[in-house]
């Protein structure tokens, strides 16, 4: 999870997969809890890399994919990056290395929601034609028009890998999808809802 601030999504998945029990969520973001605000490889079972400093996760993924190639162990590496994260030069250095080393065992999932921590991408740092850039950097790009539709996402994962090229799955997404008052609202990037809004959010999601 290169965009380490999306840790809650990762934690929910790891919990469902049996890495730890649900009671740990009661201590989310608390000192000594295993579920820190950003994933911590030393604290949380199932976490493969400590992330949160944007750009570093994709770099670690490239290293893992390269190591797997050397070892010939058939391991495949998956990492998710954000569009705001892609303001970091490190994303592009890592991408260049992935293409240079022909890491076709690497899949980068690009969460393109048009927003970051304090504004839209175009307000903070325009990415321009992101897909053209990733293609130019050597990725085989698979585009998903609705990245919030899990069937479309799964279909993208099942497309055959292009030999010798890293793959980028370009997801067009809506930030806050499914929670009426959060959708497309940059202000909810990292804010906790109060009890009333939490109840509303759960109703929205369950509905
Ligand atoms: C190196 C670095 N700089 C700044 C930050 C602060 N920061 C946390 S999240 C974020 C925005 C990330 O935007 P994006 O990748 O689009 O993720 P999204 O908000 O869409 O989930 C920023 C700038 C950080 N975590 N790491
Ligand atoms: Mg974003």
pLDDT digits 0-9 by tens, 97-136: 999 999 999 999 999 999 999 999 999 999 999 999 999 9
**The pLDDT value given to residue 207:** 85
Q: How far is the CA of 114 from the centre of ligand 2 (A)?
A: 5
Q: Which atom of ligand 1 is nearest to the CA of 175?
A: 20
**The pLDDT value given to residue 130:** 98
**The pLDDT value given to residue 184:** 96
pLDDT < 50 regions, the chain: none
Q: Is the CB of 37 under 6 A from ligand 1?
A: no
CATH of domain 53-173: 3.40.50.970
**The pLDDT value given to residue 30:** 96
Tell me the residue length of the chain.
207
Whole-angstrom distance, CA of residue 163 vs CA of residue 39: 32
**How far is the first Cα of the chain from the last one, in angstroms, to the nearest whole number?**
28
Per domain, the residue ranges of the chain are: 1-52, 53-173
Q: How far is the CA of 16 from the centre of ligand 2 (A)?
A: 25
Check if the beta carbon of residue 189 is closer than 8 Å to that of residue 182.
Answer: no
Residue showing tokens 């949380």: 44
**pLDDT tens digit string along 193-204?**
999 999 999 999
Does pTM top 0.85 for this prediction?
A: yes
Please give the C-alpha separations between residue 123 and each of 118, 119, 127, 132, 147, in angstroms, as whole numbers.
Answer: 9, 6, 10, 20, 22
**The pLDDT value given to residue 60:** 98
Residues with a beta carbon under 5 angstroms from ion ligand 2: 82-84, 113, 115-116
Q: How far is the CA of 136 from the centre of ligand 2 (A)?
A: 21
Q: Which atom of ligand 1 is nearest to the CA of 4?
A: 25
Protein residue closest via CA to atom 20 of ligand 1: 116
Q: Is the CB of 7 under 6 A from ligand 1?
A: no
Q: How far is the CA of 69 from the centre of ligand 2 (A)?
A: 30
């Amino acid at each position: 999870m290169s965009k380490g601030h999306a840790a809650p999504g990762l934690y929910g998945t790891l919990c469902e997969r049996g890495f730890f029990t649900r009671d740990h969520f009661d201590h989310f973001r608390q000192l000594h809890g295993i579920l820190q605000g950003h994933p911590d490889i030393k604290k949380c079972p199932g976490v493969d890399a400590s992330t949160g400093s944007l750009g570093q996760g994709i770099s670690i993924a490239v290293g893992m994919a390269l190591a797997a190639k050397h070892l010939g162990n058939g391991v495949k590496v998956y990492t998710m990056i954000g569009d705001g994260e892609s303001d970091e030069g490190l994303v592009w250095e890592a991408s260049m290395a992935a293409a240079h080393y022909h890491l076709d065992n690497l899949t980068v999932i690009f969460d393109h929601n048009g927003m970051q921590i304090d504004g839209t991408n175009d307000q903070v740092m325009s990415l321009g034609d992101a897909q053209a850039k990733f293609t130019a950097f050597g990725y085989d790009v698979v585009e998903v028009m609705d990245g919030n539709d899990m069937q479309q996402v799964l279909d993208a994962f099942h497309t055959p890998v292009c030999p010798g090229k890293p793959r980028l799955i370009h997801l067009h997404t809506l930030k806050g999808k499914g929670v009426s008052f959060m959708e497309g609202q940059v202000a909810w990037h990292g804010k906790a809802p109060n009890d009333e809004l939490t109840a509303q959010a759960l109703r929205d999601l369950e509905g």
